Structure 1
Amino acid sequence: MKKLYLFILFAGFIGFSQAQDDLPSEKKQQNIEALKVAFISKELELTPDEAQKFWPLYNQYSKELKTTIKDDVDVLDRDEKVLNLRKRYKDQFTKVLGQQRMNRIFNAEGRFRQLLIKSMRNQNLHNKANRQLPRRG
């Protein structure tokens, strides 16, 4: 069942990528964030009550993470700060989700990122192939 869900989500990414070409980048980012919320919610199997507690906390974590990644030029310093940030939020996530599902948060982020990158690569290959096809007319 989980493989079917991932396949459907991946197929959605492909369609999503194709539809994104004409959108402004801010709208693209909002669409990606919406897909991320859906993906992580499904991966963590959040109840409505848990989601209400989890998402404000996760959004705060995500905002700090983006700032850390954007502001730090030195790779090692950045990685250390990201690790410290994750450690700091670990206890808060555990209070909301429990230890087992807290561990799945960072894995779900990684899987989402991998699916997104794979989808973008496929879209780039698709666009490249379409540009190389001779036009009939």
Structure 2
Amino acid sequence: MNFKKMYPILFLFLSFNFYGQSEKFKEKREQIKAMKVAFLTTELDLTPSEAEKFWPIYNTFDDKQFELRHQKMKGYYKRMQNDELDKLSEKDASLLLNQIEDSEEDLFNLRKKFVTSLKEILPSTKIIKLKKAEEDFNRKLLQQYKDKGLKK
């Protein structure tokens, strides 16, 4: 998998770690989600009929994806950020690697199921536009955080 494509996703994941499970985190997540909905709505130009069917499927997918990334994988990345990484035995590192691979496979399967569901309600061109719009949104969000960091 190309790291450049994963960078915005990893950044989002890491940025969420700093907020913990506090109220501030939930507010930030809701703000980002609202920005994403507005961005995708504009980019996809869904008909009312498409939107009615699309958003419940997308929201379910997005929630499951968030859960996988932030609940399951959180522990893995936490262990990789600490000094524990140098202390891992080969056996523990192999086990951790297998767990990460399993989680990534779960994410892949979730996305595959999501696209299959979308094919029933959207033309393929809009599904491709969705993929591009998600990547564009992640890049835009990353740029906003970079810009915000530079102003401090």
With structure 1 as the length reference, what TM-score do the two structures score?
0.69
Matches within 5 A, 1:12-27: 24-27=24-27
Give the secondary-structure state (helix, strand or coil) at the position aligned to 1:46. Answer: coil
Deviation at 1:84, TM superposition (A): 0.9
Question: Is residue 146 of structure 2 the alignment partner of residue 125 of structure 1?
Answer: no
Distance 2:129 2:102 in 1: 25
Within the candidate set 82, 106, 109, 2:131 is matched to 106
Tell me which amino acid in the other structure corresponds to 2:101: L
How much identity, in percent, do the aligned residues show? 30
Q: Deviations over 1:90-120 (max 9, x none)?
A: 1211111111111222222121111101101
Kindly tell me: are residues 67 and 91 of structure 1, through their superposed partners in 2, closer, same or farther at Cα, counting changes over 3 Å? same
**Structure 1 counterpart of 2:54, which letter?**
F
Indicate whether 1:88 and 2:113 are aligned.
Answer: yes
Larger mean Cα displacement after TM superposition, 98-107 or 67-76: 67-76
Structure 1 gaps of 5+ residues are 1-22, 128-137
Deviation at 1:78, TM superposition (A): 2.3
- Following the alignment from structure 1 to structure 2, what is the Cα–Cα distance between the partners of residues 38 and 125? 26
Distance 1:65 1:99, change over 3 A: same
Q: How does 1:1-137 map to 2 (within 5 A)?
A: 24-70=24-70, 71-72=72-73, 73=76, 74-127=99-152
Alignment partners' CA distance in 2, 1:125 and 1:47: 39
TM-score norm. by structure 2 comes to 0.63
Matched residue pairs, number?
Answer: 105
C-alpha displacement at 1:41, in angstroms? 1.1
CA RMSD of aligned residues (A): 1.7
Query: Using the alignment, how far apart are the partners of 2:25 and 2:65 within structure 1?
Result: 20
Measured in 1, the distance between the counterparts of 2:60 and 2:28 equals 21
